[in-house]
Structure 1
Amino acid sequence: MNPFRRTTLSRVGHRYEPSSRLFPAHALRRRYKSLSVPPAIVMSESPDKRRKMESALDQLKKFTVVVADTGDFNAIEEYKPQDATTNPSLILAAAKMPAYQQLVDQAIKYGIAQGGTEEEQVTNIMDKLFVMFGLEILKKIPGRVSTEVDARLSFDKDAMVTRARRLISLYEEAGVSKDRVLIKLSSTWEGIQAGRELEDKYGIHCNMTLLFSFAQAVACAEAQVTLISPFVGRILDWFKENTDRKTYEPHEDPGVLSVTKIYNYYKKFDYSTVVMGASFRNIGEVKALAGCDLLTISPGLLGELSQDHSPVSCSLTPQGAKTCDLEKLHLDEKAFRWLHNEDQMAVEKLSDGIRKFAADAIKLETMIKEKIFSVKNGQ
C-alpha cells in the first residue's frame, strides 16, 4: 500500500483540541480556583472562535501532507512536518553551519577510511554526508526524507541507478528501511527511466524533481514513480523575468496553474504517483494549492503560515479533478522530447536547475577536499 495515499491525511492532519478528556472537571476547578472568573466563562470560547484563531499551517495540514524543505534539521521540530526534503544546495548551506561540523567531520573520516583515489573518497564522503543529514532528519519526523542523486548524473540513467542504490545501502547499513527514503532524481528522460527501473526492479521509491513541464509529469506518471515535485516559484520567476507582467494573484500564478493541471490529470486518470508541490515564493502560492497530496515548504514560509490566521480552503480534490477537461496522453521518448521542447520555460528552467544543483555540488566537493587535506596533514 502506498503510504502517501490520501487515506493517511486524516492522521497527518490530526490536531488536539481542549476536551473533557484532556482537562477533567476536577482538574479545571483546581486550575481556576484562584481566578475571579468562573471556569465556565473561561471555557466558553465558541468553536467558531477557535477556528478563527487556528493558524493557516494547522488548517493546511487538514488537507495536505506538509513537508519541510530544508537540510537544517534543527529547524524542523518547530513545525512538525510529516516528511522532509533535501537537495545539494540545502545540504551545502547546512554543512557550512558550525552546528553541523561534527557530521561533516564524521563523513570525511568515513570516506578516507574507504580508501581509493581522491575522487572516489570525495564521492563516498558526499554520499555519506547526504545520508547522515537524512538520518538526523528522520529522528525528527514520522515519515520520509528525500535524498538527491548528484545532478551531474542527470543524463546518465545507469549512473543514477547505481548512485541511488548506493545511497539506499548506506541508509540500510544505519538501520533505516528503504521505505523511509525517497531518492530524488532530475526529471530528464534519463532520470525518469532511472526512476522506473529503481521502482520496478529494486523497490526503491523515487521523488522526481526539477519538474516544470506537463510532458515531464505525464512521463513520470507512466513510469509509475512514487512521487513528483513540480516546481511553483521557479515557474513564477521565469514569467516575471520574460514577460511584461510582474505581479500575479495566487489563483492566476503560472506555477500554481501548472501544479493544479498536473494534480487534476493524475487524479482524473487514477495514476498512483502522488504530487508534491515545491519551490514556493510566498504563502499565497502554498494556500492556493491546499488539497494537493503533499507540499514541501521552506522553514521561512512555514513560519509565516504559523503566524497567519486567515482562512484556508481546500482548492484541489480528486472529485473536482474528475470533471477537468484533459485528455490522456502516452509519451515515448521522441514524443516526450518534442512536447517538453515546445515549452520554452520548462526547457530553460530544467537546464538552469541542473546547472545550479551541480554548481553547489562542486562547491561542497571543494569544501570537502580542503578538509581532507587538513585531516591528512594534521591541521
Structure 2
Amino acid sequence: MSKNLLEQLREMTVVVADTGDMEAMEKFRPQDATTNPSLITAASQMPQYQPIVDSVLQDARKELGDNANEKDVANLAFKELAIAFGKKILQIVPGRVSTEVDARLSYNTEATVTVAREIIAQYDKAGIGRDRVLIKIASTWEGIKAVEILEKEGIHCNMTLLFGLHQAIAAAEAGATLISPFVGRILDWYKKDTGKDYQGAEDPGVQSVTTIYNYYKKFGYKTVVMGASFRNIGEIKEIAGSDLLTISPQLLGELADTQGDLPRKLDPEKAKTLDIQKITVDHDTFVKMHAEDRMATDKLKEGIDGFSAALEKLEGLLAKRLTELEAVAAK
C-alpha cells in the first residue's frame, strides 16, 4: 500500500504539531510540539482544559495571597499556564515543546533573559530536562542578543516571528538552536501588497525558507530550520526536506488523507554546491536590512502586537475565571 503525504514527509523532515490542543497531538503523534499565546488562549477556553486552567489560577492565588488583585494573579497564572500546557504536552510527544517568552518583552534583552531563565527553572523543578524544552523568542535584534546569552547557559531557543534573511543569519550567528520562518504570513503580506496569488515554488514564503535553508547548509550552521505558519499543503510540499516543519492539526489531517509522491525539495548536499554569498550581520547591518525589507518590518511588528494582544486577552479571561471560582468558593 502506498504511503500518504504525511508518512512520506516524516521520512525526511521532523514533523511538529502547531497547536495547544492535546487531543490533536494524541491523534497525529508528532515528534515535537510548539505553542504560542494565541494557541494557548484558544486551548484555555476549551472545556476539556478547564481543570488545568483552574488549578493554575488557584496555585497563583495561593502564591500571591488573598490581598493580591485579580490582575496580578492572572498575570502570574498566564506565565504558569504555558508551562502547565508544556508539561502536559511532554507526556504526549517524545521530543521537545516550545514555550514562549512574553511577546511584550520582545525589545528588552535583559527582561527576556530573566523570563527565559524563570521558565526553564519551572521545567527543572518538574524534573523536565533542558533537552526537552525550547524557549521561543521573537526575532528582534534584542531577542537575538538574549538568545546569545541563553544558549551559552545551555538554554535552547526557538527564534519565532522570523521573516527575513538578516534575522536568520543573526540568529544562527547567536547560536540559536532553531528558527521558525513564517511561510504563510509572508505569503499573506505579498498577496495583500501585490494583489496577486502565488502557487508552488513562486510562493514568497516558500522562497524565503528555501533561501534560509540553503544559506545555513552552505555555511555549515548548526541552527536548524523549522518552517511554520502554513496556509495550504502546497507550501509544505515545496519545502519538504526542511529540518523540521510545524503544522496545524487541520493540515496534518489533509496530508494524512492525501496520496501521491512527495519529492524532496530541500537537500543539504545540494545546498553545499550552490553559489551563495556570505553576509556579516552586525547591529547596523541588521537595522539597515530590516528597514529595507518592508515585509519583514510589517510582519514582525504585527506579530509582536498580535501575540501581545492575545496575552492581554488571556489575562482578562483568567481574571474573569478567577472571580467565578472565588465566588463559588465563598458560597
Structure-2-length-normalised TM-score? 0.96
Inter-partner Cα distance in structure 2 for 1:282 and 1:215: 26
Matched, 1:318 2:276: no
Return the match for 2:45 from 96, 100, 124: 96
Matched, 1:67 2:16: yes
Return the match for 1:115 from 35, 46, 64: 64
SS of the residue aligned with 2:98?
Answer: strand
Preserved CA contact (<8 Å) 2:137 2:159: yes
Return the match for 2:170 from 214, 219, 222: 219
Matched, 1:294 2:244: yes
After TM superposition, give the deviation of residue 120 of structure 1 in Å: 4.2
Partner of 2:285: 335
Preserved CA contact (<8 Å) 1:215 1:336: yes
User: Deviation string for 1:148-196 (max 9, x for gaps)?
Assistant: 0110110011111111111111111111112100000000000111111
Inter-partner Cα distance in structure 2 for 1:323 and 1:340: 28
After TM superposition, give the deviation of residue 78 of structure 1 in Å: 1.6
Mapping of residues 246-257 of structure 1, within 5 Å: 246=197, 248-257=198-207
Partner of 1:273: 223
Partner of 1:349: 299
Preserved CA contact (<8 Å) 2:177 2:223: yes
Partner of 1:157: 109
Over 6 Å off, 4+ runs: none
SS of the residue aligned with 1:224?
Answer: coil
Return the match for 2:211 from 245, 250, 261: 261
SS of the residue aligned with 2:11?
Answer: helix
SS of the residue aligned with 1:78?
Answer: helix
In structure 2, what residue type is equivalent to 1:136?
K
In structure 1, what residue type is equivalent to 2:105?
L
In structure 2, what residue type is equivalent to 1:75?
A
Return the match for 1:209 from 143, 153, 160: 160
Partner of 2:148: 196
Mapping of residues 130-169 of structure 1, within 5 Å: 130-169=82-121
Q: How large is the RMSD of aligned CA atoms in angstroms?
A: 1.1
Preserved CA contact (<8 Å) 1:214 1:340: no
Return the match for 1:106 from 55, 73, 78: 55
Inter-partner Cα distance in structure 1 for 2:236 and 2:112: 31
Stretch deviating more after TM superposition (329-338 or 355-364): 329-338
Matched, 1:87 2:36: yes
Structure-1-length-normalised TM-score? 0.84
SS of the residue aligned with 2:158?
Answer: strand
Partner of 1:185: 137
SS of the residue aligned with 2:265?
Answer: coil
Partner of 2:322: 372
In structure 2, what residue type is equivalent to 1:181?
V
User: Deviation string for 1:35-77 (max 9, x for gaps)?
Assistant: xxxxxxxxxxxxxxx3xx2110000001100000000011112
After TM superposition, give the deviation of residue 373 of structure 1 in Å: 2.2
Partner of 1:239: 190
Stretch deviating more after TM superposition (274-283 or 75-84): 75-84
Preserved CA contact (<8 Å) 1:131 1:167: yes
Preserved CA contact (<8 Å) 1:206 1:227: yes
Percent of aligned pairs sharing the same letter = 54
Inter-partner Cα distance in structure 2 for 1:307 and 1:374: 43
Inter-partner Cα distance in structure 2 for 1:128 and 1:245: 43
In structure 2, what residue type is equivalent to 1:206?
C
User: Deviation string for 1:247-267 (max 9, x for gaps)?
Assistant: x22111100000000000000
Inter-partner Cα distance in structure 2 for 1:122 and 1:79: 32
State the aligned residue count.
326
After TM superposition, give the deviation of residue 325 of structure 1 in Å: 2.6
Partner of 2:125: 173
Mapping of residues 21-100 of structure 1, within 5 Å: 50=1, 53-100=2-49
Go from structure 1 to structure 2 and tell me whether the alpha carbon gap of 1:364 and 1:252 turns closer, same or farther (over 3 Å shift): same
Inter-partner Cα distance in structure 1 for 2:257 and 2:326: 48
Inter-partner Cα distance in structure 2 for 1:58 and 1:228: 24
In structure 1, what residue type is equivalent to 2:96?
R
**Could you say which structure has the greater relative contact order, defined with CA pairs below 8 angstroms and 6 or more residues apart?**
2
Inter-partner Cα distance in structure 1 for 2:317 and 2:8: 41
In structure 1, what residue type is equivalent to 2:227?
G
After TM superposition, give the deviation of residue 377 of structure 1 in Å: 3.6
